[in-house]
């Protein structure tokens, strides 16, 4: 799987490398409030691929227009380390582990309740929206923007997941590349679990009326592809 693109131009010699490299990375998983208040920024969880670099600086690369919020995350890194300067042209950094981070989405206008798409840079075979000199972008879901009060009981979520089954037969999904013990979420419908490993899913996270697999925070699967 192609995971990250190292964008910098190096000359044949180490000393001739540019001082800063821009390393675009894909969004593996995204979570955001299902509803937000118009005119107020909101926090979005992003799981992105990390890179092998010296003191990389993460940037969420967020933009917004009249129809969508788009995250095109990247890292800034110094290129004066020999790991980056292996020859001329474009090179690939070593991918390490997924980074669980966040990005603030800008405030969105709405004089009446309406939806905006939530998009992120991702490697996809079809259906992507090409950004100039960037990675393809896919739609992760929607956010509802309201001028008045909002319902905070749900968080929308989407991304590439792996499937886990514990000793009791409980099925959970985990954002691909994460390893924290609490990163996996049980499915509220334990009968609908086929074909989930390494699949892009869309759904929402909420607190069910009764615990599922002993947990009070579960994932409701809406779509997979």
- Please spell the DSSP secondary structure of 41-81, one letter per residue: -EEEEEEEEEE--SS-EEE--EEE-SSEEEE--EEEEES-S
Confidence (pLDDT) at 86: 39
Q: Is the pLDDT of residue 83 over 70?
A: no
Residue range 155-224 forms a domain whose CATH class is: mainly beta
Distance CA(73)–CA(87), nearest Å, equals 25
What's the pLDDT score for residue 85? 37
Residue 174 confidence (pLDDT): 95
Check residue 133 and give its pLDDT: 56
pLDDT, tens digit, 9 for 90 and up, residues 154-211: 999 999 999 999 999 999 999 998 988 889 999 999 998 888 989 999 999 999 999 9
Cα angle 65, 25, 37; round to 5 = 35
CA distance 38 to 56: 33
pLDDT for residue 34: 98
pLDDT (0 to 100) of residue 96: 52
Backbone angles phi, psi at 173, to 5 degrees: -115, 145
Output the furthest CA–CA distance in the chain (Å, rounded).
63
Mean pLDDT, rounded, of the chain: 83
Global confidence as pTM: 0.82
User: Encoding tokens for residue 24?
Assistant: 């675009």
CA angle 162, 2, 125 (to 5 degrees): 80
Give the confidence band of 88 by pLDDT, cuts at 50, 70, 90: very low
Share of the chain above pLDDT 70, in %: 79
Dist. CA 79–CA 52, nearest whole Å: 12
Q: pLDDT, tens digit, for every residue of 116-145?
A: 999 999 876 544 555 545 688 999 999 999
Residue 218 has pLDDT above 70, yes or no: yes
Residue 71 — pLDDT band, cuts 50, 70, 90? very high
Would the CA dihedral through 185, 98, 35, 151 be positive or negative?
positive
Q: Check whether 82 has a pLDDT greater than 50.
A: no
Domain ranges of the chain: 6-146, 155-224
pLDDT for the residue numbered 172: 96
Whole-number pLDDT of residue 123: 76
Name the E strands within the chain: 6-10, 20-24, 27-33, 35-37, 42-51, 57-59, 62-64, 68-71, 74-78, 89-91, 95-105, 114-121, 137-146, 155-165, 171-175, 185-186, 199-206, 218-224
pLDDT tier at 1, thresholds 50, 70, 90: very low
Weakest mean pLDDT among 15-29, 85-99, 118-132, 186-200: 85-99
Per DSSP, the three-state class of 130 is coil
């Amino acid at each position: 799987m192609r995971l990250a693109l190292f964008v910098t131009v190096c000359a044949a010699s180490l000393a001739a490398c540019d001082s800063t490299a821009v390393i675009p990375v894909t969004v593996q998983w995204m979570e955001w409030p299902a509803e937000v208040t118009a005119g107020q920024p909101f926090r979005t969880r992003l799981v992105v691929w990390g890179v092998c670099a010296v003191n990389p600086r993460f940037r969420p690369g967020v933009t917004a227009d009249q129809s969508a919020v788009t995250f095109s995350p990247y890292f800034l890194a110094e290129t004066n380390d020999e790991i980056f300067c292996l020859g001329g042209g474009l090179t690939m950094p070593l991918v390490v582990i997924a980074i669980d981070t966040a990005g603030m989405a800008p405030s969105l206008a709405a004089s009446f309740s309406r939806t905006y798409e939530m998009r992120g840079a991702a490697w996809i075979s079809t259906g992507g929206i090409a950004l100039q000199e960037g990675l393809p972008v896919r739609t992760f879901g929607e956010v509802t923007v309201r001028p008045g009060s909002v319902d905070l009981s749900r968080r929308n979520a989407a991304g590439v997941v792996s499937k886990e089954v514990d000793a009791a037969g409980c099925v959970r999904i985990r954002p691909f590349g994460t390893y924290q013990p609490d990163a996996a979420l049980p499915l509220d419908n334990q009968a609908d679990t086929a074909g989930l490993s390494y699949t892009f899913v869309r759904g929402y996270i909420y607190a069910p009326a009764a615990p599922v697999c002993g947990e009070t925070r579960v994932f409701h699967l809406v779509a997979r592809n």
